[in-house]
Amino acid sequence: MSWLALLISIPAVGAAVVVWLTRKSQARAWFASLGFAALQFCVTLAVVLMFDSSRGANFQFYEHTPWLPSIGAEFSVGVDGLGLMSLLLAAVVVPFAIAMIDPKTRRPGTMSAWMLLLQSTLVGNFVSLNFVMWFLFWELALIPAFFLVRGWGGPMRAKAAVRFFMYTMAGSALMLAGMAAVYAAAGTFHLPSLATLIKGVTLSSKITALLGGNGVWASCVFFAVLIGVAVKVPLYPLHGWLPATYSEAAPPVTMILTGVMSKMGVIGMLRVVGPLFPDQIRIHAPILMWIAALGILASAWTALAQRDLRRMLAFSSINHLGWSLLAIFAAWSVTNPGVNGAAALNGAMLQIFNHGITAATLFACLALLERRSTDQGGIDSFGGLRAVMPVFSGLWGIALFASIGLPGLNGFISEFLMVQGSFAFSPWATAVAAVSLLLTAVFLLGFWQKVFHGPLNPRWATMPDLTSTERLVIAPTLVLMVLLGVCPQLLLKWLNPVSEYLLSLTQ
């Protein structure tokens, strides 16, 4: 069995075992799921160590077997630097989220089993190189995600789960329709092969040959696929499912949704939309960049008015991933973008990991706070907590400033590269989006001031600081933040060849 298939199956098998264990004891099942997540982490680490970063953007651990030739389905897996980074992200965030499940919650074992299943589908999506398989995992991921949102969280969770499911499903339907046209035109669903079409008889000319319409149909197909992917990220006006979902779901669930699942969208942009439709992105880049930039600004600005911490972080997530989209559109906005295009793509990819661990940590901190209080994240009901919880506030503070983009922590490098890359191709849109960097500081520090600074609210005078277990759970991602802030080369040595490859396609 290959390594990547193993990585897909370990959590799936784990989920089955854990569900079986829940019949006896939920607590024991939860503990077992932590074990499976840890095993997954170790195997991922082994794959990371075996990965040869000198081989550039070539897919490693590559496997290719025909599956259902009639619909172009193949079992085709492999990882490049981007895939490897996504695997690592999932392997870090999922055990983190499982560890953050409140033991007092209802059926923690079942929850962790769903999380493992979700991880399996996400990993499947990250390593798939055939669209059918990729799309299968993309859709399959919705099922555990739906049950996770539906099963645990706030009073409106059922409604939020349905909205989440239906909204993303609608996007997926559009994408499927678009990709059906792609298959009809090109005759393959193998993503790397589709990408290389750019160099010869292009995909858009094939679509035009099939459907006619002088490029109009090619653009329609592009937008269908783009919208399907953009809903998942999400791109600002397509984010309607997100605030309710992130704020109704239990924080550990949101950790995975924002930390890993939303990244399927960004990776989809880089794996599917960008390489298949570079011409269409270039044609529509001015408008796409402005949509992304205004979305970045609007989401940060909306976050400013939120009194509920979960919703604030939800809009902050839209903002941070919006930057990725802006940078991706910018990188494909000209045919030969040079080093600024590389900066844009590297920044966008690095942002996947950075936002993943930072957002997950922020939601984890939120979970720890909610565990200690009866309030559901209303920021006005606290005050002065730093006096009683110095360690907690210090650790949360690190994640907070990483999210603000403080240099020395991970968020800065990706942010800087994305601003650099986007500015080179769309200075005004980037300048507008850059205002959100200020707004992010305003609302995050505003929240910080309300919750941690000022006189201590006597109601929370006895709130306990973090236990040593909690410190241990939250520490790894914080260490990663500092490490990547000082030494971004750790990830960029994987990502830079990928960006070089992606940009070489259009030259």
Binding residues for another protein, rule: CB under 8 A, are 163, 166-167, 237, 239-241, 243-244, 298, 301-302, 304-306, 338-343, 346, 384, 386-387, 390, 394, 401, 406-408, 412-413, 416-417, 419-420, 423-424, 427, 430-431, 434-435, 437-439, 441-442, 445-446, 448-449, 452-456, 488-489, 492-493, 496, 499-500
Identity of the residue, 101 or 345, whose beta carbon is nearer to another protein in the bound complex:
345
User: Is 299 within 8 Å of 242 (Cβ atoms)?
Assistant: no
Identity of the residue, 150 or 386, whose beta carbon is nearer to another protein in the bound complex:
386
Q: Find the shortest distance in angstroms from Cβ 491 to another protein.
A: 9
- Closest C-alpha to 506, from 378, 377, 385, 337: 337
Identity of the residue, 191 or 418, whose beta carbon is nearer to another protein in the bound complex:
418
Q: Tell whether the torsion through CA atoms of 181, 187, 188 and 193 is positive or negative.
A: negative
Q: Find the shortest distance in angstroms from Cβ 409 to another protein.
A: 10
Q: Find the shortest distance in angstroms from Cβ 428 to another protein.
A: 11
Give Cβ neighbours of residue 270 (< 8 Å, ≥ 6 apart): 82, 328, 345, 348, 349, 498, 502
**What tokens were used for 178?**
């678009």
What angle (nearest 5°) sits at the alpha carbon of residue 271, between those of residues 267 and 274? 105
Gap between the Cα atoms of 324 and 348, Å rounded: 4
Identity of the residue, 25 or 504, whose beta carbon is nearer to another protein in the bound complex:
504
Q: Find the shortest distance in angstroms from Cβ 37 to another protein.
A: 28
Q: Find the shortest distance in angstroms from Cβ 306 to another protein.
A: 8
Q: Find the shortest distance in angstroms from Cβ 249 to another protein.
A: 16
Give Cβ neighbours of residue 250 (< 8 Å, ≥ 6 apart): 101, 102, 105, 111, 148, 152, 153, 367
Identity of the residue, 16 or 166, whose beta carbon is nearer to another protein in the bound complex:
166
Identity of the residue, 74 or 80, whose beta carbon is nearer to another protein in the bound complex:
80
CB-count burial class (<10 Å; 0-12, 13-18, 19+) for 79: buried
- Closest C-alpha to 348, from 233, 482, 440: 233
User: Is 22 within 8 Å of 111 (Cβ atoms)?
Assistant: no
- Segment (H or E) for 19: helix 3-22
Identity of the residue, 182 or 298, whose beta carbon is nearer to another protein in the bound complex:
298
User: Is 4 within 8 Å of 127 (Cβ atoms)?
Assistant: yes
Identity of the residue, 120 or 410, whose beta carbon is nearer to another protein in the bound complex:
410
Q: Find the shortest distance in angstroms from Cβ 478 to another protein.
A: 12
Q: Find the shortest distance in angstroms from Cβ 45 to another protein.
A: 22
Identity of the residue, 85 or 207, whose beta carbon is nearer to another protein in the bound complex:
85
Q: Find the shortest distance in angstroms from Cβ 76 to another protein.
A: 29
**What tokens were used for 48?**
């990371």
Identity of the residue, 47 or 318, whose beta carbon is nearer to another protein in the bound complex:
318
Gap between the Cα atoms of 442 and 291, Å rounded: 23
Identity of the residue, 335 or 489, whose beta carbon is nearer to another protein in the bound complex:
489
Q: Find the shortest distance in angstroms from Cβ 430 to another protein.
A: 8
Gap between the Cα atoms of 84 and 80, Å rounded: 6
Q: Find the shortest distance in angstroms from Cβ 104 to another protein.
A: 31
3-state SS string for 27-55: HHHHHHHHHHHHHHHHHHHHHHHHCCHHH
Q: Find the shortest distance in angstroms from Cβ 360 to another protein.
A: 22
187 phi, psi to nearest 5 deg: 80, 10
The amino acid present at 362, given as its one-letter code, is: L
CB atoms within 10 A of CB 321: 30
Q: What is the dihedral of CA 144, 231, 474, 492, to 10 degrees?
A: 120
Gap between the Cα atoms of 216 and 479, Å rounded: 49
Identity of the residue, 71 or 305, whose beta carbon is nearer to another protein in the bound complex:
305
Gap between the Cα atoms of 95 and 315, Å rounded: 25
Identity of the residue, 90 or 399, whose beta carbon is nearer to another protein in the bound complex:
399
Q: Find the shortest distance in angstroms from Cβ 190 to another protein.
A: 28
**What tokens were used for 307?**
């009194």
225 phi, psi to nearest 5 deg: -70, -40
